[in-house]
């Protein structure tokens, strides 16, 4: 299961999606999330799925890798679908004690499952095609107006990007600890819920120690490189809006308009 968590991983490439300005990719990701909540009908979701499929194809990210990232949320998806399926009032087509299935429940369950899956895929594509440094720069530029309110924009952006960057590292460290504990005879699969929770202690303690050690090493490395936050900081690559960024924004704007029109007609 841990190997299926792909959030925070970056796959280098030279596709049009990789070359997009990180600010544009962050804005497009937020717009796509809003678009998911605006869509109400099958035609709208079909257009959104087609749009996301085109983005994945252009990025040259393996579809298997994208779908593998959905496995960790499979339980949440099923749980959400069951709740919407059995507890949505409407025109009932099946009833048994406190359980009932309605036509509206089936539609809502399908749309909620699609919404969750597309949401995870879209946010994953952001980290797949954007390096942590680019992500930090993009967030900092977008949040730069908050500097007038004395908000620590650079520090917040750096913490968010470091957190995303270390997700794969901590997952790999967890797998190593689990393998080491199993080699010593530890059993994580048998017993009741309380016993399994207690069996996780030999994993959590060394994991926390490793995380604190890595954080201390990272802080030392940043101090040795004279890192002083945003004060006097220069960048090797300056962010510039290119033609491909304008095309991507126009493309999403057209999709936005079409979905709003389809929503008006209930499609």
Q: Which residue has the higher pLDDT, 266 or 170?
A: 170
| Per-residue model confidence (pLDDT) at position 150 | 76
**Token pair for residue 87?**
């507890």
Neighbour tally for 42: CB within 10 Å: 14
The CA-based angle 183-184-186, given to 5 degrees, is 95
How far is Cα 40 from Cα 47, in angstroms, rounded to an integer?
A: 12
The CA-based angle 197-77-8, given to 5 degrees, is 75
Quick one: pLDDT band at residue 47, thresholds 50, 70, 90?
Answer: confident
Quick one: pLDDT band at residue 170, thresholds 50, 70, 90?
Answer: confident
Q: Is residue 168 scored above 70 in pLDDT?
A: yes
Average the pLDDT over 137-144 and give the result.
78
| Per-residue model confidence (pLDDT) at position 94 | 67
- Please tell me the total count of domains within the chain: 1
Residues 48-69: tens digit of each pLDDT: 888 888 888 888 888 887 877 7
Torsional sign, CA 58, 63, 65, 67: positive
Q: Which domain holds residue 220?
A: 2-231+238-264
Quick one: pLDDT band at residue 44, thresholds 50, 70, 90?
Answer: confident
Helix-strand-coil split of the chain, %, nearest 5: 70, 5, 25
Helix (H, G, I), strand (E, B) or coil at 242: coil
How far is Cα 209 from Cα 215, in angstroms, rounded to an integer?
A: 10
Q: What is the pTM of this model?
A: 0.71
* Contacting residues for 60 by C-beta, under 8 A, at least 6 apart: 13, 15
How far is Cα 32 from Cα 51, in angstroms, rounded to an integer?
A: 10
Quick one: pLDDT band at residue 6, thresholds 50, 70, 90?
Answer: low
Residues 172-185: tens digit of each pLDDT: 788 788 788 777 77
How far is Cα 222 from Cα 201, in angstroms, rounded to an integer?
A: 32
């Amino acid at each position: 299961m841990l190997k299926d968590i792909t959030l925070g991983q970056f796959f280098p490439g030279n596709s049009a999606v990789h070359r997009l300005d990180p600010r544009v990719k962050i804005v497009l990701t937020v717009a796509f999330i809003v678009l998911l909540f605006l869509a109400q009908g099958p035609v709208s979701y079909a257009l959104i799925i087609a749009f996301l499929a085109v983005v994945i194809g252009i990025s040259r990210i393996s579809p298997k890798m994208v779908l593998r990232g959905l496995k960790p949320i499979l339980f949440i998806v099923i749980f959400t679908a069951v709740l919407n399926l059995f507890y949505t009032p409407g025109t009932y087509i099946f009833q048994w004690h406190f359980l009932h299935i309605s036509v509206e429940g089936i539609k809502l369950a399908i749309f909620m499952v699609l919404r969750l899956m597309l949401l995870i895929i879209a946010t994953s594509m952001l980290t797949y095609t954007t390096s942590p440094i680019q992500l930090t720069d993009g967030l900092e530029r977008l949040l730069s107006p908050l500097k007038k309110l004395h908000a620590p924009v650079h520090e917040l952006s750096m913490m968010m990007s470091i957190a995303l960057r270390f997700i794969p590292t901590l997952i790999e460290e967890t797998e190593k600890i689990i393998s080491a504990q199993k080699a010593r005879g530890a059993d994580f699969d048998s017993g009741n819920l309380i016993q399994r929770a207690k069996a996780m202690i030999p994993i959590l303690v060394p994991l926390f120690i490793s995380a604190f050690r890595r954080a201390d090493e990272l802080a030392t490395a940043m101090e040795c490189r004279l890192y002083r936050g945003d004060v006097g900081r220069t960048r090797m690559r300056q962010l510039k809006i290119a033609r491909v960024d304008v095309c991507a924004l126009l493309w999403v704007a057209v999709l936005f308009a079409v979905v709003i029109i389809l929503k008006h007609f209930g499609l």
